[in-house]
Amino acid sequence: MYGKIKSLAESYYRKGREGDIEHICWLEKKLFELRKIIEDNGYDFDVIFALTILHDVGYAKLPKGYNPFDLGIRRLHAEKSAEIADDIFKRVNFPKSKRRKTLRLIKHHDDWALGKPPKDPEWRIFTDLDFSWEASSSGFDIVRKFLKQNRKQFLKTVQDHYKRKQKNNPFFLRESKKMFLKDLRYWKQKLN
């Protein structure tokens, strides 16, 4: 099922934003690295996987030239992502008992930017990884180009984002935080 979900999602990501395929591949890799911890703690890996892989497919349904950081675009792409995910769930026979929750989390995955994030542990685990993307060796340059910043400017932006995250929505898993901080140290050393 996981392979089918990712394969169907990739066709949408090819039509979406630059860097989305790299983003999803990185997220999937990190998610599987955390799988044992997730399952040992009783969190629903199926829900987290589907949320992680499908959260941004809705960008494929938006016209080119939008600002992905615009709050209206964030809301709209999340709604489109949930619509696409619902179709994909039917095609891959995703468990019906998990669809409603997963679709709600996809639809509201960016609500942290609106000041009203979901509280579900599955969403928090996903958000830890999605946030960490910007400090990763794969994501750093992709995200900074969206923001039109040089590397030193973007390093400061990532550090500021981290401070806000720790205040408003701290890392849920200790292991996710360690991964993020390791990547942040890499960029600090490289750029200083």
For residue range 24-33, list pLDDT tens digits in order: 999 999 999 9
Residue 38 CB contacts under 8 Å (≥ 6 apart), including other chains: 31, 45, 48, 125
63 in Cβ contact with 18 (< 8 Å)? no
What value does the mean pLDDT take over residues 167-180?
A: 93
Q: Which CATH topology does 2-191 take?
A: Hypothetical protein af1432 (1.10.3210)
Could you count the other beta carbons within 10 Å of the beta carbon of residue 183?
Answer: 20
CA angle 69, 70, 72 (to 5 degrees): 135
What is the pLDDT, as a whole number, of residue 123?
A: 95
Q: Is the pLDDT of residue 73 over 90?
A: no
With bands split at pLDDT 50, 70 and 90, how would you rate the model's confidence at 162? very high
Give residue limits of the domains in the chain: 2-191
- The residue to which tokens 């981290």 are assigned: 162
Q: Is the pLDDT of residue 17 over 90?
A: no
Q: Average pLDDT, whole number, for the chain?
A: 93
Distance CA(81)–CA(60), nearest Å, equals 9
Q: Is the pLDDT of residue 190 over 80?
A: yes
Candidates 99, 59, 97, 114; CA nearest to 81 is: 59
Q: Is the pLDDT of residue 113 over 90?
A: no
pTM listed for this prediction:
0.93
58 in Cβ contact with 83 (< 8 Å)? yes
Per residue in 128-140, pLDDT (tens digit) is: 999 999 999 999 9
- The residue to which tokens 């958000």 are assigned: 127
